Amino acid sequence: MTGKNANSSEDPGDQGGVFVCEQKMGQFGQHFDAYLQLPHICSKTEGTIRTEKAGQKRFWEYLNDTGFEGDELGVTNKKAEEYIQHLTNMGRKANTIRTSIAILSMFYREAVRQDWIFKNPFSMVKQPRKAEEPCSVLSVKQIKHLLSSPDLTTYTGFRDRVILELFYSCALRRHEICLVKPADFGDDFRSIRVLGKGQKEAILPVGKMAAHFLRFYIEKVWTTINKTGCEELFLSCYTGKRLNDYQIYRIVKGCGVLAGFKETISPHTFRYSIATHLDEEGVDIRYIQEFLRHDDISTTARYIKQGFHRLQSVHHNTHPREKSD
């Protein structure tokens, strides 16, 4: 087993820095930096903070390009509406625009709470209608094919296989995978303790195949690549440092390409797929809700609905009575 995998999506120079915003546009960013230091903000997940930084930086670039004078707290409702129109003119999708609004509105809403400004300029902007963008749902056969895509003769390939196994076995979220430690597993690696959204703790079952690969990974691979004494389980084979959520996304996406899938495979594909598979096996929706750790059962129903749309499409394309004479 070697340390480098030619098919791995991991880049030794990729530390998730594509979204950093140290180089600010003009005077923009001082108040956003103060926002990031607030206790309830800096406790957000790494991926959430990176996404907020990216959304803010794009907005600063727009303000800078349009000759806006002042800092980010001087933005008016009119300027906010102009920015939304700018995104629309650029051909941004409706959901992308809605996400941009949400990111900026979170900052300005907090700025109101901190008495930095009187009113959130994004509170009254007109948003495009939310578009349904169903996540890919893979069949059990496709999941097995995806799981077998990493090269198990390399450290990175074996690590990637364990990541995929845990995503499917436990329906973990991306940031949860980043924070997994060997100490989080129970006896025989058949259970895992995770700290999810809102710092909510949960104990989840681990399948026997996932446990099998996990045990070997910890004993043979993790101890070898852990060059820095890192507590987390999934590390860069180049630096020995913990993988961030962007690197995890790249790994999963790369495995999907390696497996030959035309659609983009993401960590969330596993959550949609396992929800659909459990539903197809007749599992009660409230158990699925508990397994996925959704606060609202309507969210779980939406996950299962994606599986129905897939079944409906297959039925339409293959059922004998659907074919024209």
Q: Where in the sequence numbering do the catalytic residues fall?
A: 173, 197, 268, 271, 294, 303
* Burial (CB count <10 Å: 0-12, 13-18, 19+), residue 118: exposed
How is the chain split among helix, strand and coil, in percent rounded to 5?
60, 5, 40
Structure tokens at 170: 């436990």
- Rounded to 10°, the helix 245-258/155-170 angle is 100
Provide the sign of the torsion angle of the four alpha carbons 196, 202, 205, 210, taken in this order. Answer: positive
Beta-carbon count within 10 A of 208 CB = 11
Give the residue carrying structure tokens 């409706």: 94
Structure tokens at 148: 């077998």
Distance separating alpha carbons of residues 177 and 250, to the nearest angstrom: 13
Distance separating alpha carbons of residues 52 and 75, to the nearest angstrom: 17
Element (H, E) at 191: strand 191-195
Cα 290 to chain centroid, rounded: 20
